[in-house]
Amino acid sequence: MRSEWILDVLTDLKTFARANGMPALAEQLDDTAIVAMTEIAAIRNAQDGQRDNGDAAVGTYYGGTGTS
């Protein structure tokens, strides 16, 4: 999917943060990646629902707010 490139960017940022002594930022980027995956999945589910004659797509939200 076109949106998944953002996960690669977040992984690169997390790697940089860990390598440069920024553990709180790295942890926050982990949380951010979870939010991104959740939203990408929700978009995909909504698009799948639209392709299935308008039937509602059902998904699970695994996200939340991060702590630092």
pTM of the model: 0.65
Tokens representing 32 are: 């951010």
Residue for token pair 């076109």: 2
**16 or 57, greater pLDDT:** 16
Using an 8 Å Cβ cutoff, are 22 and 14 in contact? no
Confidence of residue 1 (pLDDT cuts 50, 70, 90): low
Using an 8 Å Cβ cutoff, are 3 and 43 in contact? yes
Q: Give residue-wise pLDDT tens across range 20-46.
A: 999 999 999 999 999 999 999 999 888
**53 or 17, greater pLDDT:** 17
**Number of neighbours of residue 60 by Cβ within 10 angstroms:** 9
